[in-house]
Structure 1
Amino acid sequence: MASNKINLAKNGDINAFHELYSDFQPQLKSYLYRLLVDRNEVEDIAHDTFLKAFDNVAGFDEKASLKSWVFRIATNLAYDRLRNRGRWSSDVMDKAKEHAHNNEYILVKMQSTSQHSKFDIREHIDFCFTCLSKVLPLDQQIAVILKDIYNFKVKEIATILDLTIPKVKHVLRFGRQAMTDIFDSKCALINKKGACHQCSELNAALNPKQKQQELFIKDKLIPKDADKRKLYNLRKALIRPINPLNIEGAEIHDIFMQINRKVEGEINQIDFNTNN
Structure 2
Amino acid sequence: MEQENTLQSAMSGDIQAFQKLFAGFQNQLKSYLYRLLTDRDDVDDVTHDTFIKAFANISTFHQDASLKTWVFRIATNLAYDHLRKRKRWQTDAQDRAADLAISSEEIRQVFWMVHGASPAGAYEMKEHIDYCFTCISKTLPIENQVALILKNIYDFQVTEICLILEKTEGVIKHLLNDARNTLTDVFEHRCALINKNGVCHQCSHLNEIFNPKQNQQEELMKLELVKASKKYNREQLFELREVLVKAIDPLHAVGTDIHAEMMKCLRTAIGEKSDFFEERPGKAE
TM-score bin, normalised by smaller chain: over 0.9
Moved over 4 A (4+): 218-221
**CA pair 119-221 structure 1, distance change in 2 beyond 3 A:** farther
After superposition, the CA RMSD in angstroms is: 1.8
Q: 2:125–2:204: 8 Å Cα contact kept in structure 1?
A: no
Q: 2:225–2:237: 8 Å Cα contact kept in structure 1?
A: no
Q: 1:197–1:203: 8 Å Cα contact kept in structure 2?
A: no
| Equivalent-residue separation in structure 1 for 2:200 and 2:116 (angstroms) | 21
1:227 corresponds in structure 2 to 233
The 5 A counterparts of 1:60-79 are 60-79=61-80
Deviation at 1:113, TM superposition (A): 2.5
Query: When the two structures are aligned, how many residues end up with a matched partner?
Result: 274
Q: TM-score when scaled to structure 1?
A: 0.93
Is 1:214 the counterpart of 2:223? The answer is no
Write the letter of the residue equivalent to 1:61.
H
1:4 corresponds in structure 2 to 5
Bigger mean CA offset, 258-267 vs 35-44: 258-267
Deviation at 1:2, TM superposition (A): 2.0
**CA pair 220-261 structure 1, distance change in 2 beyond 3 A:** closer
Is 1:84 the counterpart of 2:46? The answer is no
Is 1:126 the counterpart of 2:130? The answer is yes
Write the letter of the residue equivalent to 1:72.
R
Q: 2:255 aligns with which of 241, 249, 253?
A: 249
Per-residue deviation, residues 101-147 of structure 1 (Å, max 9, x unmatched): 11111112213323453332221111111010001111111111111
| Equivalent-residue separation in structure 2 for 1:50 and 1:221 (angstroms) | 43
**CA pair 210-57 structure 1, distance change in 2 beyond 3 A:** farther
Gaps of 5+ in 2: none
Q: TM-score when scaled to structure 2?
A: 0.91
**CA pair 45-210 structure 1, distance change in 2 beyond 3 A:** farther
Is 1:18 the counterpart of 2:6? The answer is no
| Equivalent-residue separation in structure 1 for 2:38 and 2:191 (angstroms) | 20
Is 1:187 the counterpart of 2:191? The answer is yes
**CA pair 170-247 structure 1, distance change in 2 beyond 3 A:** same
The 5 A counterparts of 1:112-191 are 112-115=113-116, 117-191=121-195
Write the letter of the residue equivalent to 2:231.
D
Q: 2:225–2:241: 8 Å Cα contact kept in structure 1?
A: no
**CA pair 266-221 structure 1, distance change in 2 beyond 3 A:** same
| Equivalent-residue separation in structure 2 for 1:30 and 1:52 (angstroms) | 19
Q: 2:123–2:258: 8 Å Cα contact kept in structure 1?
A: no
The 3-state SS of whatever aligns with 1:236 is helix
1:268 corresponds in structure 2 to 274
Per-residue deviation, residues 29-58 of structure 1 (Å, max 9, x unmatched): 000011001010100010010010001111
1:259 corresponds in structure 2 to 265
Percent pairwise identity: 45
Per-residue deviation, residues 179-203 of structure 1 (Å, max 9, x unmatched): 1111111112112343335313244
Gaps of 5+ in 1: none
